[in-house]
Homo-oligomer: A and B are copies of this chain.
Amino acid sequence: MSSEEARSSVCVEDHVMTEKKRREKLNQQFVELLGLIPGLKKIDKASLIGDAINYIRELEEKLKTLEDKKRASSNSVKSWNSRPSPNENLTENSSSKSLPEIEVKMVGKNVLVKLHCLAGKGVLAKMLAEIEELHLVLRGVSSMPFTSSSLCVTVTAQFEEGYYMTVNELLKRLSTAFIYFLYED
């Protein structure tokens, strides 16, 4: 008897409490997980984990799909500045500044944007998208190859009703947007 009671320095009840604690924690995790999984039917612990597994796989797949789409339409843009050497055949008599060069003019709500940048798949589409996100309505777009690797783009646009911006602000926003391209995952 006495040997059984004193079998361990801290007696059996301690063990029971510890185990109780462990179960509580685990169950707490279970209910937390329960709140995360949408549209589950059985609330079995097993089924719950099963649904969690399926949900994770589902999310991962969706994410992969979206990322691939994104990548397919913006990956090439990375090559835009991937050759940061300004020693192209365009620094001869141009202002010798590195690309892209951005020029903005405004008359009332009318905007003229001139862009000179390294050509690359997706660059033009991305530019237009970014311009339109600044609440500009495209009027005319002209794009022509300049050197073998650079592009001259001219865009005319108008501010949407109720939107306006100063020239400097617009220039800053455009530059920011283009930089955003380059570092986009």
Residue on B nearest A143 in the bound complex, by CB? B141
Indicate whether A105 reaches chain B with its CB closer than 8 angstroms.
no
* B66 near A49: Cβ-Cβ < 8 Å: no
CB distance from A60 to the nearest CB of B (A): 7
Interface size on A, residues (CB 8 A): 48
Q: Which residues of chain B are near A129, meaning CB under 8 Å?
A: 73, 122, 125-126, 129
- A144 x B140 contact (CB < 8 A): yes
Q: Are A46 and B60 in contact (CB under 8 A)?
A: no
What does the 1/0 interface line of A40-68 toward B look like (CB < 8 Å)? 00000110011011011101101100110
Contact assessment for A128 and B132 in the assembled complex, using a CB-CB cutoff below 8 Å: no
Question: A132: nearest residue on chain B (CB-CB)?
Answer: B121
Tell me if A72 counts as interface (CB < 8 A to partner B): yes
Asked if residues A53 and B29 are in contact (CB atoms below 8 Å), the reply is yes
A133 lies within 8 A of chain B by Cβ: yes
> Do residues B66 and A70 form an inter-chain contact, with CB atoms below 8 A?
yes
Tell which of A30-38, A85-93, A164-172 binds the partner.
A30-38
0 or 1 for each of A102-145: is its CB under 8 Å from B? (1 = yes): 00000000000000000001101111110011000111111111
Can you name 14 extra interface pairs (CB under 8 A) apart from A33-B49, A55-B56, A124-B128?
A26-B49, A33-B52, A33-B56, A36-B53, A36-B56, A59-B59, A121-B132, A122-B129, A125-B125, A125-B129, A139-B145, A140-B142, A140-B144, A141-B141
